[in-house]
Amino acid sequence: MRITVMTADEQILSLDVDPHETVENLKALLEVESLFEFYGQTMVPLQQQQLLFNGREMNNSEKLSALGVKDDDLVMMVSGVASSGSASRNDLNLNPDGSAVNPAAFQQQIRQDSNLIGQLFQTDPELAQAVVGNDLNKLQEILRARHQRRSDLRRQEEEELALLQADPFDVEAQKKIEAAIRQKGIDENWAAALEYNPEGFARVVMLYVDMEVNGVPLKAFVDSGAQSTIISKSCAERCGLLRLMDQRYKGIAHGVGQSEILGRIHVAPIKIGEIFYPCSFLVLDSPNMEFLFGLDMLRKHQCIIDLKDNVLRVGGGEVSVPFLQEKDIPSRFLDEERHLKQASSSGAAVTTGTTKKANVPSGGQSSGGARGDATHKPEFEAKVAKLIELGFAREMAIEALKLCDGNEEQAAGILFGG
């Protein structure tokens, strides 16, 4: 039920309480609420509270229902004489910003009241932790935040009341009413999400698995949104693969951002579980990304991302490796997920960047130039059209034909992951 409590200085508190709650617990709840509701006023300690209902003092051991307190009833609160040894009034005052005038005395006063501490741990665990802790600056920050939150809520209520009393033919008032209704819908949707879909507010940990690249163990970021498998220059060097990098495949990977493609390693062994698989990858100049297992290799090795069992199945299910839990992922990876996502987005368009740059080998060989000129011939365009009809993107078809020197069947085999 909801009751209203009025103080001697006519301040109002509205509380939701259980009808079978004791008066003592109600006083503790009022003490907690008074921490924030009346900035610049003194917190009313439990020992100093006197509650009156229908002119009769309410004893601590009595229950609200036994006293006849019902929904929407009014309870008066008056302050008794402070007990000896209690903090002075000034020490327990709050500043206009909601912080304590004397945070040490304020903290000590709350610590002395076990009932209040118990209520705080139930209603505001963060504040309770600050009270029992030793960081007074943290306590002050929380008090200011709670005061700001209540001030915003009070201002919002006042604005809603003003809108209800506004001229219904005022265009500006109607716009504000419309905005308020829209915001109310958003708030209700947010509250429903908190109740029925709380996991939607948790951080989503990206998918990592343990792999070995050329015998070197590492944490591989599995990303089906990246077109190509990517390895950083530093990781390729650590794996002893940098010597195999084909610099004719230099280019720029475009996406959310862009990264420089240093070249391509055409084939190297990766170990997933207990089985070795051939893998090719682009080498990026990206210090914030180590190894990204992209869609090209996921498709080639018939991988299944099984989120029900939380495993990556490779080879149609012949190997299953678990996705790593958050505690098993290096913290630097979690801190750099933004960079991984950027690299992933770049990978989605990485073939286009390679197409522009890879058709001319860095050594200036004429074969690369001839192959680039062949892309303009009608025969080449006809082969591209056939591959497009099979469901592949134009850029992928062009790149595959270039890699196979125009051999249509070989290009189709590459695109199908053969």
- Does some domain include residue 409? yes
- Output the CA–CA distances (angstroms, integers) from residue 254 to 105, 177, 225, 247, 341, in the order listed: 59, 44, 14, 18, 13
CA angle in degrees (0–180, nearest 5) for 410-411-413: 65
Q: Are residues 273 and 385 in the same domain?
A: no
Active site residue 223: yes
Q: Answer with the one of 333, 353, 373 that is the final residue of a domain.
A: 353
| Crossing angle between the packed helical segments 394-403 and 378-389, to the nearest 10 degrees | 120
Q: Are 110 and 127 in contact (CB under 8 A)?
A: no
* Residue 318 falls inside a structural domain: yes
Q: 260 pairs with which residues across the strands?
A: 252
Verify that 186 and 236 share a domain, yes or no. no
d(CA 100, CA 58): 30
CB within 8 A of 384, min separation 6: which ones? 394, 397, 398, 401
Residue 415 near residue 400, CB atoms below 8 Å: yes
The answer on 276 and 183 residing in a single domain is no
Q: How many CB atoms lie within 10 A of CB 314?
A: 22
Q: How far is CA 4 from CA 11, 37, 46, 74, 209, in A?
A: 10, 14, 18, 5, 57
- The verdict on 58 and 80 lying in the same domain is yes
Which structural domain range is residue 253 located in? 208-353
Strand partners, 258: 254
322-346 tens-digit pLDDT:
999 888 888 777 655 554 444 444 4
Task: Answer whether residue 157 is part of any domain.
Answer: no
Question: Of the residues 308, 331, 353, which one is the last residue of a structural domain?
Answer: 353
| 349/212 same-domain check | yes
What does the pLDDT read at residue 219? 92
**219 and 245 co-located in one domain:** yes
Separation of alpha carbons 146 and 351, rounded Å: 52
Which region, left, alpha or beta, applies to residue 12 given φ > 0 means left and ψ of -120 to 50 means alpha?
Answer: beta
pLDDT at 415: 65
Domain contains 76: yes
- For 375-399, the pLDDT digits (tens) are 556 788 888 888 777 767 777 778 7
Q: Residue 350: its pLDDT value, please?
A: 46
Which of 370, 378, 381 is closest to 405 using CA atoms? 370
pLDDT value at position 351?
A: 42
Same domain, 237 and 321: yes
Q: Are residues 184 and 280 in the same domain?
A: no
CA distance 284 to 56: 79
Question: What is the C-alpha separation between 134 and 108, in angstroms, rounded?
Answer: 11
Verify that 345 and 214 share a domain, yes or no: yes
Residue 193 and residue 70 in one domain: no
* Per-residue confidence (pLDDT) for residue 34, from 0 to 100: 59
pTM of the model: 0.47
The domain that holds 101 is classified in CATH as 3.10.20.90
- CB atoms under 10 Å from CB of 205, counted, come to 15
Catalytic residue among 223, 328, 335, 373: 223
Q: Report pLDDT for 371.
A: 38
Instruction: Tell me what pLDDT residue 31 has.
Output: 67
Q: How far apart are CA 234 and CA 226, in angstroms?
A: 20
Full pLDDT tens readout for the chain, 418 residues: 888 887 766 667 777 888 888 888 887 777 666 555 443 344 555 556 678 888 788 888 888 888 888 888 888 877 654 444 444 445 556 777 878 888 888 788 777 777 667 777 777 778 878 888 888 888 888 888 888 887 887 787 777 777 777 777 888 888 888 888 888 889 889 888 888 888 777 778 889 999 999 999 999 999 988 888 999 999 999 999 999 999 988 887 765 556 788 999 999 999 999 999 999 999 988 766 789 999 999 999 999 999 999 999 998 888 999 999 888 888 777 655 554 444 444 444 444 344 333 333 333 333 333 334 455 567 888 888 887 777 677 777 787 787 777 887 777 766 665 4
On whether both 69 and 117 belong to a single domain, the answer is yes
Give CA separation, 122 vs 62, 118, 231, 390, in Å: 22, 7, 49, 62
Looking at the structure, tell me whether residues 177 and 237 fall in a common domain: no
CATH number at residue 298: 2.40.70.10
What is the domain count for the chain? Answer: 4
Q: How much is the pLDDT for 329?
A: 84
Q: Quick check: is 116 in a domain? A: yes
